[in-house]
Amino acid sequence: MECELKLQVPTGKASRVLHAPAIGRLLSDPTTTVELTSTYFDTPDLQLHKSGASLRVRVAGARRVQTLKLDGTVTAGFFERDEFEGPVQGDSPDLKSLQELLPESKKSSKLLQAAGPESQLRPLFVTRVKRTTATLRLSEDTEVELAVDDGVIETEAASTPIHGVEMELKSGAPERLYELALALLESVPLRIDYVSKGDRGYELLVQEHRLPVRAAPLKLRKRYTVEEAFQYVARNCLAQIHGNERGVVSGHDPSSVHQMRVGLRRLRSALDMFADVIAAPAGLNEELRWIAGELGGARDWEVLADATLDQAFASAKDGDDVNATRHAAKERAVQNRKLAAAAVDSVRYTRLVLQLTLWIESMGWRNGQIEAARAACEKPVSKFANATLSRRHKKLLKRGRGLAELDDESRHRARIAAKKLRYATEFFASLFCDRDVKPYIKALSKLQDDLGWRNDIVVADGLLRSLGAAQPEAASGAGFARGYFASRAAEDHDALKVLWNKFKRLSPPSVRKR
């Protein structure tokens, strides 16, 4: 199993890594520098890549090594995957000798069967890297191999530079890699690396569309403690956040911005939900609020430029005023998407992700934790779930009293309460009986969707005001859209009242005693 943390280094900054104070004091042996040439192979229809694997032959001097890497997990630049390698005589893979390295499992066998005979394999791209390596001894039981790479990935038609740092864990706990990266970040402007060299090479060959990543189902068990449940919930939120980072940085799909923002909202809601027993480190909430704000601006303009204006102008004839408003909104959306991409691809965000991941994986909240909180963490999650949902349900009933008649600000507070209640219910859903939780989530989701739509209208009104003031040619269309949404909001009064009355009749689900 290969475990390594990958980070990107700005062009011309790679040499600073080895001279950084965080590295110098840990060097146990002299550094070594080699020239590596790696050729990646696959079938004409990319069967290996479609299976999440990569196959390469690496040349270092007179030595040749073939390596097969299988699909694994990637979290905040931390790659964990199965790797099989061995010597090879020529410049092409030897599948027979490779088969001997693989465990007798269906996945491995099917993978090589998909590759077919060696004659079907084709060289696709090459990486040429100058690699400097060093062995770091962080403690008696922790050893890390540090590799600094400078080079290029080449296909027949394109190329892209490589400037990166890889920290491979040889022994010890994975959290130590995050500690080392944070120390290195003090002197070198690193950024999270989201893909391997192999995946980057495939990106040059195939213009793949990165699908937005939704939250994965969360399975908690009644025997879990409050602390264990928090870790599972936090990791689930982080997986959604990390799964969309690459899509946000590429800037191609606005849906990645939306899903990453949802992941951040879920995480912030979880931190708030567990705050009485698990205290977040100083400054964490402020940094999460910062990145959520960067994504929020992009998301608001995307919604306006697409779905919201499409509704408003559906019955209007295309004209200069309508087209000017559409064009101005799309320009703002593109600008804000670029700002969001820059924020996620920044040193500040890298520091946040490393600190957050380290805190969750090392259970950093235990440092200085008072005895009462420690005892609360060790209690069964079932009672905590019941108390949380009961409290948040009551809060929504209080905030939503007379919901259809509330002003924008009061309705916004009710929407936030509904959102927090829904996230909490979904976090703990696996603890409840389906017949109790499913109707509750369904009614709550419909209510939240309506409140969310109304909030989009309020946000759109503000954005359209600013658009009309900044660009006079868009003012007429913006005014038309604002009037349209004001009338739609008035029409929704009775529908919102029905949704609210239906929800009020429900009781929150609870974990039943056996």
Provide the pLDDT for residue 110. 64
Between CA 221 and CA 225 the distance in angstroms is 9
Provide the pLDDT for residue 70. 83
- Residue limits of CATH 1.40.20.10 in the chain: 226-504
Which CATH topology does 226-504 take?
A: CHAD domain (1.40.20)
Is residue 499 within 8 A of residue 450, CB to CB? The reply is yes
Helices first, then strands: H and E counts in the chain: 19, 11
* C-alpha torsion angle, residues 458, 460, 465, 470 (rounded to 10): 150
Name the H helices within 251-283. 254-273
Mean pLDDT by 10 residues, the chain (514 residues): 85 86 84 94 90 91 90 67 88 86 66 66 95 90 92 93 92 90 93 87 82 92 96 95 91 89 97 95 94 96 91 79 91 95 95 94 92 94 96 97 95 96 97 94 96 92 93 92 90 93 95 72
**In the CATH scheme, what is the homologous superfamily, with its name and number, of domain 2-205?**
Hypothetical Protein Pfu-838710-001 (2.40.320.10)
Provide the pLDDT for residue 415. 96
- Residue limits of CATH 2.40.320.10 in the chain: 2-205
Is residue 246 within 8 A of residue 212, CB to CB? The reply is no
Is residue 326 within 8 A of residue 291, CB to CB? The reply is no
